[in-house]
Amino acid sequence: MVNPTVRMRADRLQLNHPLPTDLATVRDALTSGQPAKAALAAMIAFHAPRNAQLGNLRLVDIRDGRMHLADITVILAEPVRQRLAVWLQERGRRWPNTINPHLFINQYTALRTCPVSMPWVSATLGMSAQAIREDASSTKPSPPAATSAASATCSASASAAPMRYAHTTDQPDPLLRPVQVTGRPPV
């Protein structure tokens, strides 16, 4: 008897699982002395927006401790809020008269109204933003079937992935001014 499947090609599925990102690299980005780098790293590590979403964010899209994207609103984590505040101070100091409405700007875009380029995001981070995003998604549990985009957002923000990076932000932040502690206990 002859095997009828002998000449059939059996392709094997290759599942490309993302590799975890080196936490030291992410920690360096989160605690960087460059405010843009720290803000970008925090936003990607905690909330995982796409590069295009980051580049197209406008100043008015960050308000009331939330990031308002086209289809969802994300409550910003405290480390993200801190780094964004430092970035906004730096942005205002370096380009006080810019007419660019975007949250992230650089020397080139400060004189224009266009967003930063997608390669600028990765170059500023010193690593691929996708690598941080994949690392966050690989450590987060699969949410149950969501009934709406809002509940999916809540599930994603309550996952274990941001906690992986929260411990890296527990280190003293060089961007934030140290608080002076007096001998009196707080009232």
Q: What is the pLDDT of residue 95?
A: 95
Q: What is the pLDDT of residue 106?
A: 93
pTM listed for this prediction: 0.66
Q: What is the pLDDT of residue 102?
A: 95
23-141+150-167 folds as: hpI Integrase; Chain A (1.10.443)
Q: What is the pLDDT of residue 1?
A: 76
Q: Which structure tokens are listed for 105?
A: 């700007």
Q: What is the pLDDT of residue 17?
A: 62
Would you tell me how many other CB atoms lie within 10 Å of the CB of residue 21? 23
- 3-class secondary structure, 115: coil
Q: What is the pLDDT of residue 134?
A: 76
Cα distance between residue 114 and residue 14, in whole Å: 39
Contact between residue 90 and residue 33 where contact means Cβ atoms under 8 Å apart: no
Q: What is the pLDDT of residue 166?
A: 55
Q: What is the pLDDT of residue 25?
A: 82
What's the whole-number average pLDDT of the chain?
Answer: 76
The segments of the chain whose pLDDT lies below 70 read 11-21, 135-187
Q: Which residues, other chains included, contact 138 with Cβ-Cβ below 8 Å and sequence gap of 6+?
A: 17, 18, 20
What is the percent of the chain where pLDDT is above 70? 65
Q: Where are the domains of the chain?
A: 23-141+150-167
What is the percent of the chain where pLDDT is above 90? 39
Condensed to tens digits (0 to 9), the pLDDT of residues 110-119 reads: 999 999 998 8
Cα distance between residue 97 and residue 111, in whole Å: 9
Which whole-number Å values give the CA distances from 187 to 26, 149, 178, 180, 183, in the listed order?
Answer: 37, 42, 20, 16, 12
Q: What is the pLDDT of residue 8?
A: 75
